[in-house]
Amino acid sequence: MRKLRLLLDQMLDEEVANALRAQGHDAVRVCEIGLATADDQVILERAISDDRLLVTLDEHFGDWAVLPLSEHPGVVRVKAAPATTARILGVLVPFLEKAADRGFRDHLVIVRSTGVRWIRTGSLR
């Protein structure tokens, strides 16, 4: 399994980051880089500039009117209800184990316990 460079949005706690790091991923939480209260656009720009796959629970990343996605390293939106650390990890870790070797670039991936949806968001290269 390929190890991924991940940027974890505000709502993903240290336990999530540590579990992903234990899997070998290079996981950075936005609060660790001074973006704890940044808007989604700023966080996405940082993910792009650092070439990191953005992991979020935020629904705005699927609403093109609020936050259009063009070229980016990829966005994974986890849907886990309720969004406890255990539920998030129960969905996210197995997904990353299976999908780490896929190309995330210019895709929004919606991950839930019942399945995964890959949406092409950027232009073809």
Looking at residue 2, its pLDDT comes to 85
How many residues in total does the chain contain? Answer: 125
Overall average pLDDT of the 96-112 stretch:
91
Question: Whole-angstrom Cα distance, residue 109 to residue 74?
Answer: 8
Q: pTM for the full model?
A: 0.90
pLDDT at 1 over 90: no
Strand segments (E) across 13-114: 26-29, 53-56, 75-79, 107-112
Q: What pLDDT is attached to residue 63?
A: 55
In this predicted model, what pLDDT tens digit does every residue of 70-87 receive, in sequence order? Answer: 778 899 999 998 999 999
Class of 5-120 per CATH?
alpha beta
**Res 62 pLDDT > 70:** no
Q: Grade residue 122 by pLDDT with cuts at 50, 70 and 90.
A: low
